[in-house]
Structure 1
Amino acid sequence: MKTEQITQNQLILFLIVYFYSTLVGFASAHLIHLSQYDTVIVLMIGGLGGCIYAFFTIKLAKRRPTEFISHYGKEIFPYWIHVIFMGFYCFSFLQISAFILREYEDFFVQTYLPETPNWAIGTILGFVVAVTVRSGVVTLFRTAQGLFFLVILADIVITAFIGKELKWDRWMAFVTNHSWHNIYKGSFYTIPFFGEVVILVFLFPYLAHKNKTLKSVIWAVSLSMFFIIITMVFLLLLFGPNLASHTTYPMLEMVRYIRIADFIENLDPFLISIWSTTIYLKISIMFYLSVQILAHLFHLKDHRPLVFSLAAVMVALSLQMSGGTTSLTSFFTESWATYSYFIQSIPILYLLMDTLKRFIKKRSSKKAETN
């Protein structure tokens, strides 16, 4: 298998698009509800938490830089424990991809195609995801590389044309309205978004110039925080925390405020199409990791035979996993963060166990030399 095909520049741009996608599109209302005007502080704390996760994850991956954790993990934990962890990751990544797909299905049906059944949208997007994943992980990173500049263009358009609608007298609230309780709740909810950087432990063999990975992640987290903070600040200045937190898709409502002369009444189809592509990339990388882990567990040399069958499972899971938008929102707001902390702590367990085994081995070697 050919590895080391993803450059550090591609990694940075991919992570920016990755973090931006769901946090802005699906999580902004709940984040503002929890944090109010402390949202900027909370996002900074979340970014710091993501960098800490990245430090430990990359430290583990660098110990066997050319191997996949689904292969070498059995050298750290007993084989059966390793298989349980990898099986859990395989299911979790598949569930996350299905969860995001379901959120996107509900968004599109409610907003643009009210008469269209969810299964139609899910099947179309699922097929596109399957084709992309079958092409390989490098295709995803190259797509993100081009998409990044469209995201920047969309942010520039929003910044340039929404400014006159903002209520600038709300600026003072960012300085005076603080609550430790809001900061704690918002941070607990936000850190797992950036903590998803632990997926690098599964992608590390593909990266070129591996010694620069931590620096690249710090750049990616910092830049994604910058773009996300701009969006959140604009939402708070435009709607205020109460209205923004009670809007299902506040980003969409903000975009609809944009008017350019009389011939462009609404830019939301253009901007939403760009954001939709970022969602597709996030679903694709999660689905790819699920397929990759399953292929490694079955000792397959190629993941492609599994792609379309597992894509069908993903689409079916997205349609059956919830009774509706309310149930999805309930899981997302009440259980998702705790669930994510557990998932994201597993690479740290591998690192701790590997460090302990190395320490014991080194100590035993010293005793043998002494005797």
Structure 2
Amino acid sequence: MKAAQISQNQLLLFLILYFYSTLVGFSASNLIHISQYDTILVLCISGLTAGIYAYFTIKLANRRPNEFFFHYGKDIFPQWIHILFMGFYFFSFLHTSAFVLREYEDFIVQTYLGGTPNWAVGGLLGMVVAVTARSGIQTLFRTAQGLFFLILIADVSNTIFIGKELKWDRWMAFITNHSGHGIFAGTYTTIPFFGEVIVLVFIFPYLTQKNKTLKTVFWAIVLGLLLIIVNFVFLLLLFGPNLASHITYPMLEMVRYIRIADFIENLDPFLISIWSTTVYLKISLLFFLSVQILAQFFRLKDHRPLTFSLAAVMVALSLQMSGGSAALTSFYTNSWATYSYFIEGIPILYLLMDTLKRFIKKRSAKNNKGM
């Protein structure tokens, strides 16, 4: 089966939206609570770490650029270990997609559709995600490419219209207010958001101009980080760290400050609907990867027969998760980061093992030649 083709431009735009989606929408309050005015420094450190993740991940993928990680991984580690790791990835991608879906369900129900059951929201979005995954990964990246500039215009407009409400005298706090514990704790929690760049090892065969991937990803990290930082700076200047950390969805409250004359008010449904597409893109990619891994487990040439049944599992899993923003925040703070470091470090283990095996093989060949 001929692999779908994803251009470097599509990869760039998709990754920017991927980084932006849940970090700004769902995790802003928690990150500001932990790091206060050090949030900007935390984001910069996390972005730098993402570049390191990307370098090692792409280096591993470049060694077998046209093969899928699921297939060549057994040549690096013993097959049973490789299968175990792939099982971890299948569960991780499916669980993360269900978790983000649950966050979105709670957000929509609490904010706009009070009294609507979560299963209705989750079922509708789950169906859209399943259709997207069934259409293939190229459709997903083309969708991101088409929506990117609309999302960018909406975000830039938001920051422009909210500028007059900012309390600019808070600028000095970014220079004077620092906490070592806040920087460490915030960085530890935030790095996994950017560490999800390791998904590249699974989609690498789909990419065109593979030799430019590292440059593309670095630009995606820089531009995505810039977009995220602007939003966090505006949050801190508008609300301050104490108020922002006690608002469940501070970005929503910031959007609600927008007033254009006396006849255009309450733009938040429009802007939030645009932002929601970034969440949809992230869920769709993670779900697609879980479907792809499962299809490779069953040695299926086509992943499409699995999409709707696995989407039902994803929705059911999201509904079974502990509800409420407090419970979700507790999971992120106490469990998710540590688990993510394990999952995101696996490609580095493969790279180290592959490098070691190549070194041993090369040295053995040299000794045999010398004899």
TM-score by length of 2: 0.99
Give 1:307's aligned residue.
Answer: 307
Does residue 149 of structure 1 match 2:149? yes
Distance (whole Å) between structure 2 residues aligned to residue 247 and residue 342 of structure 1:
31
Distance across 2 between alignment mates of 1:221 and 1:36: 22
Deviations 1:118-174 (A, max 9, x none): 000010000000000000001111111111101211122112110111101001111
* Equivalent residue, structure 1, for 2:286: 286
Partner AA of 1:66 in structure 2: N
Matched, 1:256 2:256: yes
Q: Within 2, Cα distance between the matches of 1:311 and 1:301? A: 19
Shift of 1:325: 3.5
How big is each residue's C-alpha offset from its partner over 1:224-274, in whole Å with a ceiling of 9 and x where there is no partner? 000000000000000000000111000000000000111111110111001
Question: Which blocks of at least 5 consecutive residues in structure 2 are unaligned?
Answer: none
Aligned to 1:120: 120
State how far apart, in whole Å, the 1-side matches of 2:91 and 2:192 are.
18
CA distance in 1, matches of 2:205, 2:322: 36
Q: Which residue of 1 aligns with 2:160?
A: 160
Distance in 2 (alpha carbons) for counterparts of 1:266 and 1:114: 18
**Helix, strand or coil: the match of 1:335?**
helix
- In 1, Cα distance between equivalents of 2:159 and 2:251: 13
Aligned position for 1:2 = 2
CA separation in 2, counterparts of 1:345 and 1:270? 39
* 1:44/1:225 contact within 8 Å kept: yes
Could you tell which deviates more after superposition, 173-182 or 15-24? 173-182
**Which residue matches 2:21?**
21
Aligned to 1:368: 368
Asked if the contact 1:7–1:208 (Cα under 8 Å) also holds between the matched residues in 2, the reply is yes
Q: Which structure 2 residues correspond to residues 224-239 of structure 1 after superposition, within 5 A?
A: 224-239=224-239
8 A contact 1:4–1:208 mirrored in 2: no
Structure 2 contact 248–325 (Cα < 8 Å) conserved:
no
Write out aligned runs for 1:116-265 (5 A): 116-265=116-265
Aligned equivalent of 2:57: 57
Corresponding residue number in structure 2 for 1:335: 335
SS of residue matched to 1:331: helix
Give the residue type in structure 2 aligned to 1:154.
Answer: A
Runs of 4 or more, structure 1, over 6 Å off, are none
Q: Which amino acid aligns with 2:57?
A: T
Deviation at 1:324, TM superposition (A): 3.9
Alpha-carbon distance in structure 1 between the residues aligned to 2:100 and 2:163: 31
Alignment-derived partner of residue 30 in structure 2: 30
How many angstroms apart in 1 are the aligned matches of 2:334 and 2:107?
A: 20
Question: How many Å separate the matches in 2 of 1:125 and 1:155?
Answer: 23
- Structure 2 CA distance, aligned partners of 1:324 and 1:263? 35
* Equivalent residue, structure 2, for 1:66: 66
Mapped partners of 1:322, 1:85: distance in 2: 26
Checking the alignment, whether the CA contact within 8 Å between 2:30 and 2:329 is kept in structure 1 is no
Q: What is the CA-CA distance between 1:329 and the residue it aligns to?
A: 2.0
Deviations 1:269-323 (A, max 9, x none): 1110011110000000000000001111111100001100100000000001224
Displacement of 1:326 after TM fit?
A: 2.9
Return the alpha-carbon distance in structure 2 between the equivalents of residues 232 and 53 of structure 1. 24
Aligned mates of 1:199, 1:250 — CA distance in 2: 29
Report the Cα distance in structure 2 between the residues aligned to 1:123 and 1:4, rounded to whole angstroms.
28
Provide structure 1 residue ranges, at least 5 long, that are not aligned to the other structure.
none
Q: Aligned partners of 1:322 and 1:144: how far apart in 2?
A: 30
The two structures, once aligned, show a CA RMSD in angstroms of 0.9
Output the CA distance in 2 between the equivalents of 1:154 and 1:177.
Answer: 31
Q: What SS does structure 1 have at the residue aligned with 2:65?
A: coil
The AA in structure 2 aligned to 1:250 is P
How far apart in 2 are the matches of 1:328 and 1:127? Answer: 23
Deviations 1:172-209 (A, max 9, x none): 11111112221111111111111100000000000000
Matched, 1:270 2:270: yes
Which amino acid in 1 is paired with 2:240?
G
Work out the number of aligned pairs and report it: 371
